[in-house]
Chain A
Amino acid sequence: MLEVKRVTKTFRRGKHVVNALSAVDLAVRKGEFLTILGPSGCGKTTLLHMLGGFEFPTEGSVEIEGRPITGPGRDRGMVFQEAMLFPWRTVRANVAWPLQVAGTPRREAHARADELLAMVGLARFGNAYPGELSGGMRQRAALARTLAMEPSVLLMDEPFGALDAQTREVMQEELTRLWQASGLTVVFITHDINEAIFLGDRVVVMGASPGRVVEDCAIELARPRSSETKADPRILEYRSHLWEVLRRESARSAPAMAEAGR
């Protein structure tokens, strides 16, 4: 469904030329949950931004269902690490906002927002303001807001990165449950190997300097996933394998990264 074709991204930082991405090829199947793993500076965020239409490749192309991506659109919903809810609106009004942008009248939009909030477990918090919510709750609200756009793709940039470990685990289980019911295509970026394995149908490992795909690993754990999945012994295998890949990568690229002035 999503195609990244020989994408290269370079930019200039002072005198340095940074190879954020170098001839990256990637394909995402419809309905797939793809996780992207990699150290800082490997270009995974840049790649996601390109899929979202907020950044553009220096060379190569990014496509959705055969059409080139030329800008942001409601079909590709982004979720960031910081929820970025409007602090001046209630949670419900935040979730309803994308609907209102599309012309839905207020009452209808708010009703739909309530449905979405119930789906993410925030039914009672419609009237609260974002400042009153915890980090995890804010992320749920942000997710509900993105879902309000009825995207076909969810692009998630380390959405649980700012949460504490327990909340993160809860959110992972919530997300996989939601995804299972929705049939959305998801591209999910993370630092966390366990998270990548638990959530993904497929884990793509990226390396830095230059940014490129280093490994593409299918995760064959049973679906639907839940907290019980975490007891599956194959997780350990996947983990040690991916850990090894990452370790090799960081050993290889450490001197190069130091030079790039990171």
Chain B
Amino acid sequence: MADADIRAARAVSGAVPGTSAGRGLSAILLSSPVLKALGLAAVLGAWQLYATVNGTRLTPGLEVIGQSFMQLLEDGELLEHAAITLTRGFAGLAISFLVAGLLGFVAARNWVVDAALGPFVTFGYPVPKLALYPVIILLLGLGAGSRIAQVALECFFPIFVHCYAGARAVAPKMEWLARNTGAGRWRLLTDVIVPSALPFVFTGLRVAVPIMLIVMTVTEFIGDSQGLGYLIARSASYFDTASAFAVVATLGAIGFVSDRIVVELRGRVVFWEKGASL
């Protein structure tokens, strides 16, 4: 508790001492909201400056990007491709979640499964799974299937690892107390292990969502003519960088919103862990 106070004090400790008149102004200038806005404005300003100075079609200013964005939106293309990317992406994520979640829990409670899966997870994690994509295309063709499979493959690992950790993170004494009441294995799982593991499960989900977006984007660069990734590649091939950036910004917005949704969901389901940030 005291630590939080100290941390809060540090957070505002950027105050600069000065004369009483100067202190007012510098206090305002150095306050959080102002600085944050300034920082963002500076970056956007720099972009705009670069675009203006450069003046070519290839380095679009913010207003050009905005126009392209509106154009894509009105044409319906943005929504159409976004829908495709998202349905496939979340489908892959769902599959991954079910499989990885189940295996993670089982591996956490059963040493045989844990030992069996161990090498695959340990060695599979640092490997860029994208390299396997050609094989998946060979297996499932160049359509929705291969993309969903690739997403499922890449999201598997973080979800597995987090669910595993969650199932293992049950306080031993809590488990003892549960066993003390004579609770059987199933009840132990549903009433104690799963709720205890939920915070971890959500964190795993939170890590997996950006991965899903990355994988969808990349796989949509290759073949097929659908999805936001395709839209970016197409715009780039026409040297329409403004549209490309517009779609990039859209992806960013989607990522941001998805993350917020997961965090909000976590806050509601895992209501007993207040103020926990990952």
Contacts and interface: CB of A to CB of B under 8 A. Distances in A.
B110 interface: no
Point out which of B177, B180, B187, B274 has the most chain A C-beta atoms below 10 A from its C-beta: B180
Contacts of B181: 74, 97-98, 101-102, 149
Size bracket, chain A contacts: 20 to 34
Interface in B163-222: 171, 173-174, 176-177, 179-183, 187, 191-192, 195
Contacts of A130: 272
Contact of B177 (A78, A87, A129, A131): A78
Contacts of B171: 82, 84
A84 B271 CA distance: 17
Contacts of B273: 87
Given A84-B171, A131-B272, A97 B180 contact: no
B192 A86 contact: yes
Interface string A139-177: 000000010010000000000000000000000000000
Nearest to B198: A88
A54 to B, nearest CB: 5
Interface string A63-98: 000000000111011101010101110000000011
A84 B195 contact: no
A interface majority secondary structure: loop
Interface residues of B, number: 19
A10 to B, nearest CB: 21
A136 interface: no
Contact of A78 (B176, B183, B192, B274): B176
A210 to B, nearest CB: 25
Contacts of B182: 72-74, 98, 101-102
A80 B177 contact: yes
A43 interface: no
Nearest to B171: A84
B274 to A, nearest CB: 7
A84 B174 contact: yes
Given A74-B180, A98-B181, A87 B173 contact: no
Interface string A4-31: 0000000000000000000000000000
Given A74-B182, A102-B181, A80 B173 contact: yes
Interface string A45-64: 00000001010000000000
B272 A84 contact: no
Contacts of B272: 87-88, 129-131
A97 to B, nearest CB: 7
A129 B187 CA distance: 21
Contacts of A80: 173, 177
A259 B181 CA distance: 39
Nearest to A80: B173
Contacts of B174: 84, 86
Contacts of A52: 176, 180
Contacts of A146: 180
A74 B177 CA distance: 10
A97 B187 CA distance: 11
B274 A72 contact: no
Nearest to A76: B180
Contact of B176 (A72, A73, A88, A102): A72
A129 B273 CA distance: 12
Contacts of A101: 181-183, 187
Contacts of A97: 181, 191
Contacts of A72: 176, 179-180, 182
Interface of A: 52, 54, 72-74, 76-78, 80, 82, 84, 86-88, 97-98, 101-102, 129-131, 146, 149
18 contacts: A52-B180, A54-B179, A72-B179, A72-B180, A72-B182, A78-B176, A78-B180, A80-B173, A82-B173, A84-B171, A84-B177, A86-B191, A86-B195, A88-B271, A98-B182, A101-B181, A102-B181, A131-B274
Given A72-B179, A101-B182, A101-B183, 15 more contacts: A52-B180, A54-B179, A74-B181, A74-B182, A76-B180, A80-B173, A80-B177, A84-B177, A86-B174, A86-B192, A86-B195, A88-B270, A130-B272, A131-B272, A149-B181
